Structures are given as C-alpha cells and as structure tokens.
Amino acid sequence: MFEKEKLAKVKESLNAYEAKVAETIQKRPERKEVFESGSGSVVNRLYTPLDIEDFDYERDLGMPGSFPYTRGVQPTMYRGRFWTMRMYAGFATAEESNKRYKYLIEQGSMGLSVAFDLPTQIGYDSDHPLSEGEVGKVGVAIDSLADMEILFDGIPLDKVSTSMTINAPASVLLAMYIAVAEKQGVTPDKLRGTIQNDILKEYIARGTYIFPTEASMRLITNIFEYCSKNVPLWNTISISGYHIREAGSTAAQEVGFTLADGIAYVEAAIKAGLDVDTFAPRLSFFFNAHNDILEEVAKYRAARRLWARIMKERFGAKKPKSMALKFHTQTGGSTLTAQQPENNIVRVAIQTLAAVLGGTQSLHTNSKDEALALPTEDSVRVALRTQQIVAYESGVADTVDPLAGSYYIEAKTKEIEEEAMKYIKKIDEMGGAPKAIDNGYIQQEIMDAAYNYQKDIETGKRIIVGMNKFQIEEEAPKGLLKVDPSVGELQKKKIQELKAKRDNELVKERLEALRGACQTDENLMPYILDAVRAYATLGEICGVMREVFGEYQQSVQL
C-alpha cells in the first residue's frame, strides 16, 4: 500500500515527534504510564502508516459485499436499509409477552426476539420441581404448542422475522414455531428468523445445557439438514460470542473462541455428510458491544475477515454467502451499572455506535435498568429510541464502513485477527472446541480475564463512572418490573388442563417413535415436529431425549 520512500519519511518525522513528546512528558507526564484498551491490550500514543506497513487494500479489505468482507457483508450496507432493530423480550406468560411484542412492533421494532424462561431453556415443564421459583422470570414460559400459539397470536409469521434465544431444546421450539405457522396457513419456506442453537457456548459460559456434547452436536446438525430442505430462509444457528464476552473474555478471545465454536459446527455438519455450501449460508453470529468503541469496531471487522478466510481456505466453501459472516449484536449487559442507572443510556448509545460502525445486521439495545431487573416498557422504549437516533440522526449509517483506513482501526483489526487466530490454533491442537471445553481450557482463559478485570476495578486502575468514581448517595430505584409470582401456578394449571384434553395415546405413540429414532442415526426433526403437533410438552420431549442421551456434566476450572 505504502511506498517505501514515503514510509521512510514517516519514520523520520515519527522519530522527531517522539523526541519532542519525550521532552513534553518530562514536564507534563501523561495520565497513565501505559494506556490499555477495554480488553486490556496496550494502546499506543499514535498510529501511523508504519503500524500497517504491509497493509494491502485488495487483500485485507476489498469492497463491501465481497471477500474478505472486512468492510461489510452487503454492498450498500445501511444505505439500502438499516440494521434490524430487534429487541429481546419475553417474560411471565405467553399472553403477557404477546402484548409486549405487539407494543414493540407498534413502536417500530422490526423483528421479534423471544426470551424464554430458564425451565424452558433447560427442557423442564413449569411443573417440574427444579422449575420452582423460575417460571416466567427471565423470559416467557413455554410448555407446549398451546403456549406458542398464544405467544404469536395475531402476529403474522410470514411478515415478521423472529429470533429465539434457545439452545439445548432449540429443535423443539423451532418445531413449535413451524407448527404455529402451519395453523396460520404459513408454509415453512416462508419463515424467517434465527434460533440460537449454539450449545458449545452454553458449556463455556451460559450454562443452559441439557445433553452431552455428542448428542447436542447431532441435534444441531439435524436442524441444519432439516432446514436446508424445508425452512430455507431460517438461520439455523447463531454462534455466540456474546455470552463469552459477558463471562469476562477479552475482545480477541470473543472472536477466537466464537469462531473456534463455528469451526466445530462446520466440521460436525461436514462429518454428518452435509455439503458445506448447503448449510454455511445459514450460519449467523452474535457478538457483544462494549464501551471501547474503536476496539469493538475492529473486532467486528476482524471477525468477518477471519471467518471469510477460514471458510474459503479451510473448508473450501464456494458460495460467497458461505464466507460472509453476518451477525446480531447486543449491547453489553455486564457493562451496565446498578449505580446511577441513567448513565447506562449513554453507555448503550456508545455501544450502539460501535455495533453500527462495525456493520451489524441486527441489534438489541439493553435498557438502563437491566443491572437491576427486567426492563419496563418505558426503559425499553428509550433503548429502542437510542438505535433510532443513531440511525436517523447521527449520519454514521449513510456511508459504508466509515472508519476504514484509520491507522488505528486497521492496526487493531489486524491485531485482533492475529490474536484470535492464535487461540484457534491452540484449540485445534487440543482437538477442537469440544475438547478444549471438556478440559476446561476455554473457561479458564475467560475466568482469568474476568478476574483481572474485577481486580482492575477494585484497585481503581479501571474507572467505571458512578461505580468506583463519581459516586453519589442515591435512593433505590423505583418502578422496576416485577413478574407476578403466580405465573408458576398459572402455568401448572395450564399443563394440567392440556393433559386432560389432548389425545394422550397419540402423545405416547409419538414420544415412543421419537425414542426409537434417538437410538438410530435418523434426523430427529420430523419426530419432534410430530410430537409437538400432538401437544406433547417440552418437558416430555426433552425427557425422552434425556433418558436416551443422558445429561452433560459441567467442567469447572477455577
């Protein structure tokens, strides 16, 4: 990119600059001896062409919408249309959540994003003993197709795109979604949306696993195969760095571990006999947005470039869509403070800018009160408005990848790509992501970073405004959202009623058919769909699979 002679000149003037700076520092020292990014990597005083000496525009960036997709996956990006403003929501019963979805659509939300409660995420019905106290708390309780019908009542499934944060029992919830669509007269080929379906990060960071690795990977590849034939517009997985970052990783670890998980899924699908170009275009990713805006922008760009290269070079993908990394972003929940919650609105705005400048395809913005409870309608609206202000007023969406060519951004993009690649190599040497999770390597790396971060806050090396500096005496915030504790009882009653009126013989038959299929190599999706249609509950379906597959045992490294 740069001519040798000109670089030599830059070097000369840089030396002069540093000499002068050295004098200035003698008199007036800088604020810190070492400046560190949000992830703790060293930030230099100044970036110049010398930091990206071997930078090659065609090789490293290219044009938006073409390999290696550093500048974005679409040619015109947000000049065509804005990212999907997708607010993650769900709590209490299907009825309550349905109301919230309709409110969000009215307010200009463009896609739905369903949060399920923990029993649903772990495959227990609301009347299971372990569900005690958890029903409807962090999301909506779905026990059977009957609940799902209420959840999407009056919402035309051929018009909206729906994202579902569901992993271990993803196949069951997807089957319920397909079955609701059938009842609305919508054929599966029209359905658009995403299931998270990323079990590896559950083992690593989020904890809502059910089955052991092998069975989980089979369920995932079953979905890939089934959807490539029947639900072609569906994003079959959202490979998530979000939770890895929430668990305390650095930006580079977020990229490295997430792409290592991605590699494991691609390998599993290829091993199951699928052609890479049939399923790879439906892979999607999910990243976090933290406050160090420049580091975050570099992170998204690095992830895109690295994934494109992996798909092309390692897996021999041919279709451009197989190489293009598209991703959803959520602002960082762990960056929010319980102290002075209003400040969180500003943090979310910065994080929104990071995601948009980094070329996200969809975005959820957290609400200011989420360090304390689930968000109220008012605080969700402010979070959504934050996206709308960035979209309509800030101007950053009007040109593609506006930060490209910044010496710092390009140097940082390269640095993150290289560091992520180092992690991927190390994980490859261990035999892939599942093995590196099994031996606790990934968890321990994240935990080390999380502990260092905490120590930096406690020593005051890292400032969190309102928390360890600029504190005020404040009263407890009022008006937080409370989930009615009677939800659990209500759901239990609904299950009883359902079991009294459905065809229990049919349910038994379908569950036994599923059990049989679990013991073969058959694709389980059709069997799950049949069981769902007969109103077998989530707990019954997962229960059969638990019996055949057993349960995952977590690996703890501290």
Contacts to other proteins by CB under 8 A:
118-119, 121-122, 124, 129-134, 137-138, 202, 206-209, 212, 246-248, 334, 337-339, 371-374, 439, 447, 450-451, 454, 457-458, 464, 467-468, 476-477, 480, 483, 485, 550, 553-554, 556, 558
By C-beta, is 92 or 276 nearer to other proteins?
92
- Closest approach, Cβ 466 to other proteins, in A, equals 9
> Can you tell me which residue has the tokens 């993803």?
170
C-beta of 394 vs 439, nearer to other proteins: 439
Residue 86 backbone dihedrals phi, psi, to 5 degrees: -125, 105
Q: How far is the CB of 337 from other proteins (least distance, A)?
A: 6
Nearest approach, Cβ of residue 134 and other proteins (Å) = 5
Residue 177 to residue 261: CA distance in whole angstroms: 26
Helices (H), 358-440: 377-392, 407-430, 433-438
Q: Which is nearer to other proteins, 35 or 451 (CB)?
A: 451
Residue 514 and residue 534 in contact, taking contact as beta carbons nearer than 8 Å: no
Comparing CB distances to other proteins, the nearer of 63 and 457 is 457
DSSP 202: I
3-class secondary-structure state, position 469: strand
Say if residues 116 and 137 touch (Cβ distance below 8 Å): no
User: Helix (H, G, I), strand (E, B), or coil: what is residue 368?
Assistant: coil
Answer whether 382's CB lies under 8 Å from 345's CB.
Answer: yes
CB of 352 to other proteins, least distance (A): 22
Longest dimension (CA), the chain: 86
Q: Would you say 135 or 324 has its CB closer to other proteins?
A: 135
Say how many CA atoms lie within 13 Å of 468 toward its Cβ: 11
Least distance between other proteins and beta carbon 407 (Å):
34
Residue closer to other proteins by CB (options 354, 449) is: 449
Least spacing, CB of residue 228 vs other proteins, in Å: 30
User: How many CB atoms are closer than 10 A to CB 44?
Assistant: 11
Place of tokens 């696993």: 209
Helix, strand, coil abundance in the chain, percent, nearest 5: 55, 10, 40
* Min dist. Cβ of residue 122 to other proteins (A): 5
- Shortest distance, position 554 Cβ to other proteins, whole Å: 6
**Residue 469's beta-bridge partner residues?**
465
Q: Which is nearer to other proteins, 107 or 291 (CB)?
A: 291
CA distance 404 to 345: 27
CB of 350 to other proteins, least distance (A): 19
Structure tokens at 277: 């170009």
Task: Please say which residue, 134 or 143, places its beta carbon nearer to other proteins.
Answer: 134
Provide, rounded to whole angstroms, the least separation between the CB of residue 133 and other proteins: 3
Number of Cβ within a 10 Å radius of residue 209: 23
User: Nearer Cβ to other proteins, position 130 or 346?
Assistant: 130
Encoding tokens for residue 125? 């019905």
Q: What angle do CA 162, 126, 112 make, to 5 degrees?
A: 10
Smaller CB separation from other proteins, 105 or 138: 138
What is the DSSP-derived secondary structure letter of residue 452? H
**Pair of tokens at residue 55:** 């930078």
Instruction: Please choose, from the candidates 480, 481, 479, 453, the residue with its C-alpha nearest in 3D space to the C-alpha of residue 467.
Output: 453
User: Assign residue 404 a region: left if phi > 0, alpha if psi is -120 to 50, beta otherwise?
Assistant: beta
Nearer CB in complex with other proteins: 341/358: 341
CB of 118 to other proteins, least distance (A): 4
Q: Where are the beta strands (DSSP E) in 23-141?
A: 84-89, 111-115
Minimum separation from the CB atom of position 89 to other proteins (A): 15
Nearer residue to other proteins within complex by CB, 41 or 340: 340
- Backbone region of residue 200 per phi and psi (left: phi > 0; alpha: psi in -120 to 50; beta: other values): alpha
Question: In whole angstroms, how close is the CB of 334 to other proteins at the nearest point?
Answer: 8
DSSP H helical ranges for 282-432: 293-309, 320-323, 343-357, 377-392, 407-430
**C-beta closer to other proteins: residue 26 or 553:** 553
CB-nearer residue toward other proteins: 48 or 335: 335
Nearest-approach distance from CB 556 to other proteins, in angstroms: 5
The sheet carrying 283-289 orders its strands as 234-235, 192-195, 161-165, 111-115, 84-89, 362-364, 327-331, 283-289, 237-240
Q: Hey, is 116 helix, strand or coil?
A: strand
Pairing mode, if any, of strands 362-364 and 327-331? Answer: parallel
